[in-house]
Amino acid sequence: MDTHKIDSSMKKMLVTGVIFIIVSIVLGAFGAHALKAHLTEERLASFETGVKYQMYHGLGLLLLAILTKHIQLSWERIRIVLTIGVLFFSGSIYLLALQSLLGVKFGAFIGPITPIGGLFLMIGWGIVLKGLLTTKTWIQD
């Protein structure tokens, strides 16, 4: 059996991606079952948007982890920027969708965090794109 050592950037990227996926599954099930009777259709749709984006970025981090051993990029920076993006984007959507259930008004404070999270997501993927476009060497085992 051919084995390969997993480096710390790959491991962190994999762990972060898997955590995002697990939490999005839990929150998706929570939204579909427990929240359906308590939220308006609009708020439930917003909550589901947060779940989808979290899942997409969890899967994206898994794919990026595969690239860490083949392309020399700033993987830790990419992971951090994407993690901040998911936390701000999806997290703020969750809070906004749940505010009536929690009995708290987050609108003025949390509302502006959603686009900031989206900006972090775009920046993270922009860093990946720039790195892929400028990489001239594919690292092989």
Q: Encode pLDDT of 56-114 as tens digits.
A: 999 999 999 988 878 888 899 999 999 999 999 999 999 999 998 888 888 788 889 99
Of the listed ranges 3-7, 36-40, 88-92, 118-122, the one predicted with least confidence = 3-7
Instruction: Give the confidence band of 2 by pLDDT, cuts at 50, 70, 90.
Output: low
CB atoms within 10 A of CB 49: 16
- Domain segments of the chain as ranges: 8-134
The pLDDT value given to residue 141: 61
Percent helix, percent strand, percent coil in the chain, to nearest 5? 75, 0, 25
Q: How far apart are CA 97 and CA 93, in angstroms?
A: 6
pTM over the 0.85 mark: yes
